[in-house]
């Protein structure tokens, strides 16, 4: 029998679930040296898990492709650079499974109980990271190609007079401005549910900035890449204006969003580093005071 923990077994089952029947049976033959003949997917999965020495050995198998591990981590809410190599994805996956808090990995919407007040000692960057993890996991969960249970998306996450400015530049430039929680919520939902886009934010220091005004507005700017299935379509920059709602458990709600999407030349390929946020702190400060 294999030495897999329960968390490793559950995680590996999810990754194996992304594979084709042919690849699963081929992998089962490799792992068992063709000593065991399997007749269906369920038998193949159990056989692979039983005959694998450990999780790392199985993840390193050629049939367990890099994209499958990337997709698994995305579904678990773990943000990785789209340029990550397979060994980096394996390392992060093993860390996730070995962590005692693996089941608590899904970030909750920042509220009064889990984010600090705007006062001395408040760090807007901590809120920005926490908010972006929550927001993009929530938005990405609406993408049917990820095959996960959609989380509760809707106008309740926005102020009633929220404003969305959307600028998309590919073959042609397109700009939209929408007002109101219902309209903004539906337009953003369409990006993932209808257009099947997947947003991968860069939460490293060069991809994320945040600052707070004395009047309670917190500005969060983030850059990242946009994907559809295994293809990287381009990059995005998104600025959020957040204000607490005292009537709704003092949780943070979105007051405005500026979203810029830039398609990439398919022949150019991705740069070696994750996208950086082009807005300077002074530009964010001007937005904060406008």
Give the mean model confidence (pLDDT) for residues 2-31: 89
pLDDT for 151: 87
Fold for 124-289, please state it. Nuclear Transport Factor 2; Chain: A, (3.10.450)
Chain position carrying tokens 């607490």: 244
Q: To the nearest whole number, what is the mean pLDDT of the chain?
A: 82
- Span 264-284, pLDDT tens digits: 754 444 444 577 887 776 777
pLDDT tens digits for range 118-149? 444 567 888 888 899 899 989 999 999 887 78
Length of the chain: 290
The answer to whether residues 193 and 141 touch, using CB atoms and an 8 Å cutoff, is: no
Q: What percent of the chain has pLDDT over 90?
A: 40
The CB density around residue 152, as the number of other CB atoms within 10 Å, is 9
pLDDT at 203 over 50: yes
pTM score, whole prediction: 0.60
Residue 13: is its pLDDT beyond 90?
yes
pLDDT digits (tens, 9 = 90+) for 32-87: 888 888 888 888 998 899 888 899 999 999 999 998 998 888 888 787 777 788 99
Q: What is the mean pLDDT of residues 186-201?
A: 92
pLDDT at 233 over 60: yes
- CA dist 106 and 239 (Å) reads 22
Phi and psi of 222, rounded to 5°? -145, 145
Return the domain boundaries, the chain: 6-104, 124-289
pLDDT on residue 109: 55
Kindly calculate the radius of gyration of the chain based on its CA atoms and give it in whole angstroms.
Answer: 21
Measured CA to CA, the distance from residue 275 to residue 264 in angstroms comes to 12
* Residue whose structure tokens are 């995305």: 74
Banded pLDDT at 155 (limits 50, 70, 90): very high
Does residue 194 or residue 283 have the better pLDDT?
194
Specify the pLDDT at position 275: 78
Q: How far apart are the first and last CA of the chain?
A: 64
Residue 160 near residue 183 (C-beta atoms within 8 A): no
- How many percent of the chain have pLDDT more than 70? 85
Report yes or no: 283 and 239 within 8 Å, Cβ to Cβ. Answer: no
**Residue 135: its pLDDT value, please?**
94
Question: What 8-state DSSP symbol labels residue 231?
Answer: E
Characterize the bridge pairing of strands 231-245 and 251-263: antiparallel
Which range (174-178, 242-246, 273-277) has the least confidence?
Answer: 273-277
The region of weakest confidence among 10-19, 158-167, 223-232, 236-245 is: 223-232
């Amino acid at each position: 029998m294999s030495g897999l923990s329960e968390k490793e077994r559950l995680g590996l089952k999810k990754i194996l679930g992304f594979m084709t029947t042919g690849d699963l049976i081929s992998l089962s033959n490799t792992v068992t040296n063709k000593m065991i003949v399997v007749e269906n997917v369920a038998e193949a999965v159990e056989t692979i898990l039983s005959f694998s020495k450990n999780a790392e050995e199985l993840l390193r198998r050629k049939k367990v492709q890099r994209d499958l591990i990337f997709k698994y981590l995305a579904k678990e809410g773990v943000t990785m650079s789209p340029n990550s190599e397979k060994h980096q994805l394996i390392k992060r996956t093993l860390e996730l499974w070995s962590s005692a808090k693996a089941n608590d990995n899904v970030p909750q919407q920042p509220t009064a109980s889990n984010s600090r007040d705007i006062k001395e000692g408040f760090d807007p960057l901590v809120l920005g990271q926490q908010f972006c993890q929550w927001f993009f996991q929530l938005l990405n969960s609406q993408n049917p190609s990820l095959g996960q249970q959609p989380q509760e998306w809707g106008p309740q996450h926005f102020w009633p007079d929220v404003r969305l400015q959307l600028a998309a530049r590919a073959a042609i430039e397109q700009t939209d401005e929408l007002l109101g929680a219902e309209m903004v919520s539906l337009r953003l939902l369409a990006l993932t549910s209808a257009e099947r886009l997947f947003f991968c934010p860069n939460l490293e220091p060069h991809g994320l900035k945040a600052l707070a005004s004395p009047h309670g507005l917190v500005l969060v700017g983030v850059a990242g890449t946009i994907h559809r299935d295994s293809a990287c379509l381009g990059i995005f920059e998104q600025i959020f204006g957040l204000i607490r709602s005292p009537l709704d458990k003092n949780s943070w709600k979105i007051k405005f969003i500026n979203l810029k999407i830039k398609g990439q030349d398919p022949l150019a390929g991705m740069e070696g580093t994750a996208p950086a946020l082009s807005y300077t702190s002074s530009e964010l400060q001007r937005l904060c005071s406008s």
